[in-house]
Amino acid sequence: MRSIVRKWKWSYRELIPFLIAGVLTCAGLLLLLPDETESEVHIQQDADASYLQVYLMDEDHLLVPLFFSQEADNDPQRQIEVMVDYLSGKQPLEGFQSFFTQEDVLDSVEVSDGRATLCFNERFLSYDAQDELRLVEALVWGTTQFSGVEEVVFQLDGETLTSMPQAGTPLAQPLSRKIGINHFESSSATLHDSTSLLVYGVKKIDGMNYLVPRSRRVDAASRSSLEAQTAAILRDLSASSTLTSTMDDHALSIDIQETGIIDLTLDESIFSSDQSLQQDDVNELVLSLCALPEVQGIRLICDGTACDADQVLKADQLYYNIVELH
């Protein structure tokens, strides 16, 4: 649709009062702005949408899950090939970097019985050794986004890898999402008696906000029950020095239903100035808590009643970090 622009002619003398009024108005509005702005993360919930999720690195070598719009395709083999093309830099994206200096690193993909076997060629060796763990994570998490694919096997020239070729990262194949992603170790975390939970935060990259997952190590006690896991995630939603998160100690009570729905009672500090929920907090809560296998959805309780007409928030078909290619 073509817009219509009307042209007006003004003299400089006529414009001066309007310029002064405009400057004063802008100055007054700036004084009214809150210290923190709402998120600009591009989010969409649409059951009919078709997206391909690709995990690319930012300049800090953190993996960011990006959603690329695509035509509907129910063949995971073809989609995995396209995903690897993105990792190879066939579609450069400002603010993010590819893993390989060469293209066409993948010879074939075979999906069978819940397992995807990726057979790479010698061009696969063109990645940087310091990015080896992130590459493994990007391939495993990207490949297992497809329904029916739970495990991944890496092969090089037809031989199953027992370790990555550049830095020697051991591979206990088949691989799954249990390897974690963007591991962030806090000062209290231990690697000997610990497992990991997935926690989302918001990071600004090239002027835009993105939701970024990271695996946080927790001790066995924090994994002893769903209540303990939920509490551990809520505590960690603002415990990273790399990612910024607006979530703090907002939870007043946690009530887990037999249906897998978590009723989370919140205090007033989670509200923005217009009494609407801060979207950053909601997105981080839903994605982080719904990453637990037992959790089916989140119901937010504010001042004794559901915040949004008893709505249950779910991570299924929630598309975020959407990339618009032109």
How far apart CA 326 and CA 323 sit, in angstroms, is 10
What are the tens digits of pLDDT across the range 263-284?
888 777 666 666 566 677 788 8
C-alpha distances (whole Å) from 281 to each of 122, 185, 260, 284 are 44, 22, 21, 5
Q: Which is higher by pLDDT, 275 or 230?
A: 230
Q: Are residues 175 and 215 in the same domain?
A: no
Examine residue 160 and state whether it is found in any structural domain, yes or no. Answer: yes
Q: Are residues 217 and 317 in the same domain?
A: yes
Q: Rg (Cα) of the chain, in Å, rounded?
A: 23
Give me the pLDDT at residue 285, please: 86
Examine residue 34 and state whether it is found in any structural domain, yes or no. Answer: no
Examine residue 174 and state whether it is found in any structural domain, yes or no. Answer: yes
For the CA atoms of 15, 17, 19, 24, the dihedral, rounded to the nearest 10 degrees, stands at -170
Q: Are residues 167 and 52 in the same domain?
A: yes
Q: Which pLDDT band, with edges at 50, 70 and 90, does 132 fall under?
A: very high
Which of 153, 179, 205 is a domain's end point?
Answer: 179
C-alpha distances (whole Å) from 246 to each of 179, 271, 272 are 27, 11, 11
Q: Which pLDDT band, with edges at 50, 70 and 90, does 177 fall under?
A: very high
Examine residue 97 and state whether it is found in any structural domain, yes or no. Answer: yes
In this structure, are residues 78 and 87 in contact, taking their beta carbons and an 8 Å threshold?
Answer: no
Examine residue 24 and state whether it is found in any structural domain, yes or no. Answer: no
Q: Are residues 203 and 291 in the same domain?
A: yes
Which strands sit side by side in the sheet containing 322-323, from one edge to the other?
A: 51-57, 63-69, 322-323
Examine residue 188 and state whether it is found in any structural domain, yes or no. Answer: no
Give me the pLDDT at residue 156, please: 98
Kindly report the pTM of this predicted structure: 0.79
| DSSP conformation letters of 99-117 | SBSSS--EEEEEEETTEEE
Examine residue 18 and state whether it is found in any structural domain, yes or no. Answer: no
Q: Are residues 144 and 203 in the same domain?
A: no
Examine residue 155 and state whether it is found in any structural domain, yes or no. Answer: yes
What are the tens digits of pLDDT across the range 25-77?
333 322 322 333 444 566 666 556 688 999 999 999 999 999 998 888 888 99
Top-confidence range, 47-56, 130-139, 219-228, 249-258: 130-139
Residue ranges with strand state E in the chain: 43-45, 51-57, 63-69, 106-112, 115-120, 151-156, 159-160, 194-205, 208-219, 251-256, 261-266, 297-302, 305-306, 318-320, 322-323
Q: Are residues 102 and 224 in the same domain?
A: no
Q: Are residues 173 and 300 in the same domain?
A: no
Q: Are residues 109 and 175 in the same domain?
A: yes
Top-confidence range, 88-97, 163-172, 192-201, 294-303: 163-172
Q: How many domains does the chain have?
A: 2
Give me the pLDDT at residue 40, please: 55
Q: Are residues 200 and 306 in the same domain?
A: yes
Q: Are residues 133 and 225 in the same domain?
A: no
Which of 179, 209, 231 is a domain's end point?
Answer: 179
* Residue 204 belongs to domain spanning: 194-323
How far apart CA 51 and CA 43 sit, in angstroms, is 12
